[in-house]
Chain A
Amino acid sequence: MEQENQGWPLPTAETEVNQQTAGDGYQVKLEFFEGPLDLLLFLIRKKKIDINDIPMAVITRDYLEYLEKKEQINLDREAEFLFIASLLIYIKSQMLLPREQEALAEDDPRQQLVDRLLEFQKIKVASSLLREKEEVELQRWRRTFRPPLEKPDELELLEVSLFDLAETFFLIMKRKERESLRIIKGKDVSVEDKLKEIIDYLGKNGSMDFLEYFSSQDSLEEALVSFFCLLELVKNHLVVAIQEELFQTIRVWLRKDKATHQIHGPGHE
């Protein structure tokens, strides 16, 4: 099974609800009725009416009463309910008309509606049976679903060379250049301060997103200095820089074994 289908029934619930309320006019569900036929079946059952011999006057009155009861109006939904209402009234009027000949059995104006109702009734039952099956199947889990137990972060990493670091840096530089054309800052940034800052940052956050960190620097100069610091740290094996894939961001970690005793001595070999 393809990737996107793994565990596919999972994320649907929310989207469905959202879309329903937004687009399809589900907010007017005439309480809980799926549609006009649903309502009609409900009324027929409530009155214990034989579906093959529907008293049109009674059922039409009930149906219209029900329509009047509801408060919200949604034109799309309304149309479907009104359509059946007009059908009911039409059938009723047909039955009132005097006929020249005795009506044949299959000539009953109700027949078409009855057929529809019978069919719909079957679908309702089929739906409920399928719902039961769905209920069982949703509780089965297949091997195709890969449990999200491992963090991909720790896997398949490749250590990057200084060239990769440099390349990524120039990428940032170009961006920074464009941004800070007009800004002139007199602030001096010392390599030592920056070194401390980076190590503190790493100590606190565990790791650092190379791209993010450099783009957050205030000035070009500061970014430049921090880059030198990083190169220095890598050179002295104080940190490890890792790139998951070429051209992606580079993550930097402190090397645990050396971090503690050499923090203050980088650059002086």
Chain B
Amino acid sequence: MNDQLKAILEVLIFLSQEPLTLDRIKEVLGEVPEEELQATLAALRADFNQESHGIEIIQSAGGYLFTTKPDHDQWVRRLLQIEKKSRLSSAALETLSVIAYHQPITQAEVSAIRGVDSTYSIKNLLQKKLIKIVGRKKAPGNPLVYRTSEKFLEYFGLNSLDDLPKEEEIAKILEEEKQTIS
């Protein structure tokens, strides 16, 4: 294992305020064999996974990032004297799910799926930058079309949209629920 490379990777990720992508790492390091890079990254992450470390490296929105481990949340808040971070409202979360699974999508389409007018929720999500406008649909009224943003991935700790809960996973949960009811 290349200890020096490991140390450099640690530095690069530590310094990055946004998730550091593999491409960017390669750009900085120049020629390092892909395999060695991957293996070293994995080793570095494993180091921080140990219980003696309060921070870890996560994969988020397509890059690597240092964060504190969730278990230590209360200590951070005690230090900063900050209340718990607030969650999305259930209306906003539902709207976001619809957009995430049906993107690109218009406001009217979101509202139709939810059976509820979603104008406000969409505005709210736009403000939070969890979704973005990607254009207009060629349909009557040329309505705006929305997609989830990079920040959406970061917010939910997803590396890419492929990390969204899968159809099968959802179907399995529905099946389990059905069984507990009957």
A residues whose Cβ falls under 8 Å from a Cβ of B: 1, 5, 8-10, 12-13, 16, 19-20, 23-24, 26, 34-38, 45, 48, 76, 80, 83-84, 116, 119-127, 129-131, 133-144, 147-149
Contact = CB atoms under 8 A, between A and B. Distances in A.
Nearest to B66: A143
Contacts of B181: 45, 48
Contacts, number: 139
A130 B19 CA distance: 20
Contact of A126 (B67, B73, B165): B165
Interface centre among A1, A83, A134, A139 (most CB of B within 10 A): A139
B141 interface: no
A126 B182 CA distance: 22
B33 interface: no
Interface centre among A26, A134, A135, A147 (most CB of B within 10 A): A134
A125 B168 CA distance: 12
A135 B170 CA distance: 19
Which 5 pairs across A and B sit closest by C-beta, in order of nearness? A13-B86, A35-B116, A139-B70, A139-B73, A140-B67
B73 A141 contact: yes
Contact of B94 (A13, A16, A123, A139): A123
A80 B92 CA distance: 17
B175 to A, nearest CB: 11
B158 A133 contact: yes
A120 to B, nearest CB: 7
A201 to B, nearest CB: 31
Contact of A12 (B67, B68, B86, B120): B86
Given A36-B115, A123-B94, A137-B156, 17 more contacts: A16-B86, A16-B124, A19-B124, A20-B89, A45-B181, A122-B167, A123-B98, A125-B165, A125-B173, A126-B97, A127-B90, A127-B94, A131-B87, A137-B155, A138-B73, A138-B84, A140-B73
A125 B114 contact: no
Nearest to A87: B115
B82 interface: yes
Given A23-B120, A125-B170, A129-B169, A144 B115 contact: no
A9 B17 CA distance: 16
B128 A12 contact: yes
B145 interface: no
A24 B17 CA distance: 36
Contacts of B73: 138-141
A195 to B, nearest CB: 41
A1 B17 contact: yes
Nearest to B155: A137
Contacts of A127: 90, 93-94, 96-97
B17 A143 contact: yes
Contact of A35 (B17, B115, B124): B115
Contacts of A121: 174
Nearest to B169: A129
A232 to B, nearest CB: 42
Interface in B79-117: 79-80, 82, 84-94, 96-98, 100-101, 113-117
B37 interface: no
A27 B174 CA distance: 30
Interface centre among B87, B129, B167 (most CB of A within 10 A): B87
A83 to B, nearest CB: 8
B157 interface: yes
A125 B114 CA distance: 13
B18 interface: yes
B131 interface: no
B82 to A, nearest CB: 7
Contact of A135 (B79, B87, B164): B87
A125 B82 contact: no
A126 B170 contact: yes
B30 to A, nearest CB: 26
Contact of A133 (B66, B94, B156): B156
A163 to B, nearest CB: 41
B170 A34 contact: no
Contacts of B124: 16, 19
